[in-house]
Structure 1
Amino acid sequence: MNALTTTGLGKKYRRKWALKDCSVAVPEGRVVALVGPNGAGKTTLLHLLVGLLAPDQGSVTVLDAPAGTAQTLPRVAFLPQDKPLYDGFSVAEMLRFGARMNPRWDQDLAVHRLASLDIPLDRRVGRLSGGQQAQVALTVALAKRPDLLVLDEPLANLDPLARHEVMRGLMAAVAEGAMTVVLSSHVVSDLVDTCDWLVVLNGGRVQVSGDIEELLAGHRLLTGPVELADGVAARTTVVDDDRTDRQATLLVRTGPQRPVLDPRWHDRGVSLEELVLAYLRRPENAALPKPALARA
């Protein structure tokens, strides 16, 4: 079953489409990297998934029900970039607030998680460090016991150590329970070794959607003499093409078969960051003609 499915999804602000013809499906149990430049429509898509916005076009289904309905709201947790905490509350008061608002609340999980992080329950939220506040916000989201956890730039404005600790805590929570996570970021390095599904959003449209290992296996980086580049490009699907006076570097989509090349060409695999940046540089290209809907 899919954790989320959008079909022809569109959202318009006044005369400008923030999202247009957005079709994507993600199977249950995945950790999804939602990547794109600022203004690509990532936050708009997340708000549509959790029911904070209504679409102007198309449909969005979450956990086999329309997004933002009574069937989905108790099963979805959302952590926006601005970390919705009350500075005047103590940490314990934030947990009591969470318990009042969420019928599936797990108080033991929240208390034990914060104790493991040495975050005192009697400390005012406003007196915590940025990393501690992020951990409290994540704890409130996790204690809801969601089937779908949606995070919008959760590492923004954190120092490198705090970023590492938050991601480590998130991955531990994912390992303990069968939930789907959608993690939005424009910093690809934060997502390496964390996510197993990639969605690239660019200009309000989905460019790439799929299993990260399969996507990486289906792309190669070719480097060779510039005078031979046109011939190689004609035999492959080129995603990105960078040439100097002497050398050409082509990132190509190969599918299961690697291209047979002149010995003067060097052929290697691509990293997640190279793959993402190549597509973002070429908004007209897509990894698939249309994102394939996952099936149960």
Structure 2
Amino acid sequence: MYTEQFDPADAGLVALEATGLGKRYRRGWALEECAFRLPAGRICGLVGPNGAGKSTLMSLATGVSGPSAGTLRVFGGDPRGGRARRQVGYLAQSKPLYPRLSVADTLRMGRELNGDSWDQGRAEAIVRGGGIPFHARAGSLSGGQRTRLALALCFGKRPRMLLLDEPMADLDPLVRHEMTGVLMAEAAEAGTTVVMSTHTLPELEGVCDYLLVLAGGRVRLAGEADELAWAHSLVTGALPAPGTAGPLDGHTVVESTTSGRQFTAMVRREGPLAPGPTWTVTEPSMEQLLLAYLRSPEATPLLTPSATPPAPTHLAAKDHAA
């Protein structure tokens, strides 16, 4: 019987920390010089175009592969170690299940693989919540039912961190909404850290409280979703006359587009930025912010304080001595 629970007080810990992280394959670097922190207990949206390095990062976090440079720590430990692996759950888009096993046998397999850490009651409760017959074979289940069964296996393991590699991508919108609700409820109850990779940006709004954006194998944006949104403004208005000051002066422009004499710009504020007679200033939505960085991979990266790992000891000592 399961006896140890993840204490939400662990939210002060760091679930995932990368320092100078790199992963090289024969074709080149999939990740390069990545540095970030993910505090425990967060729901993190992992975003990036195809080939950005998202799946590589998850492979490293599960301990399936090791880094070519730098380090990645899971709750302070090496992901390839047995202790770290027991603390991580992983669910891929393919949701690999044995099609000939019944639902009951699938959960029994989960119990045998995870031993004393397995929570049979919780896994069964997730299955019952979808009205899935325990005698049904996994191969006969609908897409939503397969996802629910896969989530039951993940949460039955009682992971401290759950990695989701687009497991909802093959579901219709209604089922995707239902499964996202199941996921969030289960994660909130246990205080589980969740890293969710997705291309469906609107579904991150109201779900994720943390963001990690990769582009070209590097970290472009990381930190609390609210803080990142607050640091930016969406400015729309008439282009200033040549030689005259405009609303973007003195601010970092992430992305700017023009149409005739009108412009729209995503800016990172470097000071006060107020509406003017010919322009408006609004706070961007999460989707608008993410799209701006995805369309502008050369924009200056931004990490909030909680997402910024400490400087390596030898560098910190050198700076102090200077």
Q: Which residue, out of 212, 236, 242, partners 1:223? A: 236
- Which letter does structure 1 place at the counterpart of 2:299? N
- Which letter does structure 1 place at the counterpart of 2:135? D
Question: 110-119 or 141-150: which moved more?
Answer: 110-119
Deviations 1:47-71 (A, max 9, x none): 1011011111111000111112112
**In the alignment, what sits opposite 2:250?**
235
Q: Which residue, out of 57, 65, 69, partners 2:77? A: 65
**In the alignment, what sits opposite 2:95?**
83
Q: Which residue, out of 282, 294, 297, partners 1:280? A: 294
Q: Which residue, out of 174, 192, 217, partners 1:179? A: 192
- Equivalence map 1:1-296=2 (5 Å): 1-103=13-115, 104-228=117-241, 231-254=246-269, 257-288=271-302, 292-293=308-309
CA distance in 2, matches of 1:262, 1:146: 50
Any idea what SS the aligned residue of 1:266 has? Answer: strand
Any idea what SS the aligned residue of 2:246 has? Answer: helix
- Which letter does structure 2 place at the counterpart of 1:273? E
Question: 261-270 or 133-142: which moved more?
Answer: 261-270
Change (3 A) 1:294 1:209: farther
CA distance in 2, matches of 1:188, 1:225: 29
How many residue pairs match? The answer is 294
CA distance in 1, matches of 2:292, 2:21: 25
User: Is the 2:30–2:52 contact (alpha carbons within 8 Å) kept by the matching residues of 1?
Assistant: yes
Change (3 A) 1:96 1:186: same
CA distance in 2, matches of 1:95, 1:154: 19
User: Is the 1:105–1:144 contact (alpha carbons within 8 Å) kept by the matching residues of 2?
Assistant: yes
CA distance in 2, matches of 1:247, 1:176: 48
5+ residue gaps, structure 1, are: none
CA distance in 2, matches of 1:289, 1:75: 26
CA distance in 2, matches of 1:115, 1:245: 57
CA distance in 2, matches of 1:15, 1:139: 37
Shift of 1:243: 0.9
Shift of 1:293: 2.3
TM-score by length of 2: 0.87
CA distance in 1, matches of 2:218, 2:175: 32
5+ residue gaps, structure 2, are: 1-12, 312-322
TM-score by length of 1: 0.95
Determine what percentage of the aligned residue pairs are the same residue: 43
- Which letter does structure 2 place at the counterpart of 1:175? A
CA distance in 2, matches of 1:259, 1:172: 38
Deviations 1:200-234 (A, max 9, x none): 11111110000001111111111111135973333
Any idea what SS the aligned residue of 1:161 has? Answer: helix
